[in-house]
Structures are given as structure tokens and as C-alpha cells.
Structure 1
Amino acid sequence: MNTAQAIDEINRLLDDPSEETVNTSMRLPACLRDAAALAVDHLDVAASTTALTTTALRRTLETAVMEAALRAHYRKHPGVRPSLAEVALALAAQQGSPLAGKTRAVQKAANEVSARYPHADAFDVLLWAEARQLTVA
């Protein structure tokens, strides 16, 4: 099974409307189990620890599928991958940041932060740009 087939099969399984369940034995660290129980009982994050675990697993699988599909798309079409600055600008717009639309400042921050930290992400760029603005002000 190749990656595309695995993505399709995972999506099919996640979209399956069946209510059938299976009993599984899953080893969890006790501290994680206890934290989940407290979150269910006191923070109302889910109806049960099973529901919390199921939701977390589903979200992780959905994220993994989206990331795998995106990586495959970028391998096939490398020219469409957005730059770090473009991603940071989009993030700024989504978050309502004052940096939204400040292309030059974000581009400069992206260049500077990626030169120092090759694995920097859009959050790093925005933080760097905000810090630069504070030092200028």
C-alpha cells in the first residue's frame, strides 16, 4: 500500500458511520490516565475518558492525513509551497495580529529568524517581528 492509498483508506475508515466498537487493550502511562480522568471530571472536556481518548486519536489521525497529503502535494508541485513569510502573514491575518499586512516587516523577520533557526515556524517569525517592533519603538 502506498501513501496515497493509505490516506484514502484512513479517510474511508474515519468517515465510516458505523457505530460498531471494539475492545482494545492500550497501555497508557498512569499519570496520563489520571490527568485525563481529572480533565473529564473537573474540566468537562468530554463525557468520559474513552470519549476523550477517541476524540484525541481521531484528531491526530485527521491531522496526520492532512499533513501527508500536503507533503505529497508539495513533492509533486514544489513551486506552490508558500514561503515562511507567506505562512507567517497568513497566521497574522488569522490571529488578528497587528502584523497582518505588514509584508516587509514579516519578510525581514522571516529572513532573520530562519538564518539563525533553520527549523523556525510562522509563530517564531511573528514573535521575532513583534520583538523587533518593540526594540524600534
Structure 2
Amino acid sequence: MTETPTTAEAQGAAEAEDAETAIRRLVADAERHQTDLGLIDLHTPDTAIVNIAGRRVLSGDNLRQAMAAALASPMAKVLTRVEIEDIRFTRPDVAVVSCVKHVSDERDPGSAPLPSTGSLTYVLVRDDGTWRIALAQTTPIAGT
């Protein structure tokens, strides 16, 4: 005998699906805005970022400064592509997103090399119905 989901269960499943769609859109927006300051608006004001090179940036204001400096440097030629592997909800308004980051380094050959892939973890929070990046941590994958 197959059980029919209750209205609450069906509503919860629909909300989770809507949240997952919004999260996938946020990650895609972050990838699309990697070369402009629009990326900052996708983060919480108290965001924490650790990039693939190990640089930690704390707060949206500091992220804005770091990003402006990076975009005015050869780092602007380092582009990434992200693949989502998993989305887990720790609460209805908090999600942990596991990704693989693929790095395309188009800087001059004399630049210090970067790994070509990394494990990217996002912690996302929903505030007033909008998902934002609270934390992004990229760990280089050895040998890439």
C-alpha cells in the first residue's frame, strides 16, 4: 500500500525544491558576476571568504576592496566554473552547498601557478526570502 503524502509533507517538498532552485540560481549568479562587483551583493554583509590561494577576507566591505584590487590586477584573468555536487539544508533557511571549482588561469606564464580544481563549500542563508552567501571556502585539490 502506497501512502499519500500529507498536505504539509507535499508543501515541505515543494518549498525545498523552490529553495534548491533559488540556490542553484545564486551559485550561477556568483559564477556570472566573478568579474564584476555585482558579486558583492550576493553575499551577506558579514561574509567570510577563503579563496583557492588561501586568502581570507572577512566582511562584505573587505570583499569589495579585495575584489576591486583583484579586478585591477592580473588576477582578473583567473576565471572559474562551478559544478554543484550536493545541497544540504541544516535548517530551512541555511544550506551547505558542496561544489567543484574549475580554474582557468590565463595570466602570464611567469605568474605563480594556481591549482586547476578545488573543493568549494558555500554556506548560504535565506533572509527575507533571499538566499545569500555567508561563507565560501575553496580548498585546492592536490595534484591539479
- Taking structure 2 as the reference length, the TM-score comes to 0.27
Larger Rg over CA atoms: 1
Q: Which has the higher contact order (CA 8 A, sep 6+)?
A: 2
Instruction: Report the structure, 1 or 2, having the larger strand content.
Output: 2
TM score, norm. by length of structure 1: 0.28
> Which is helix-richer, 1 or 2?
1
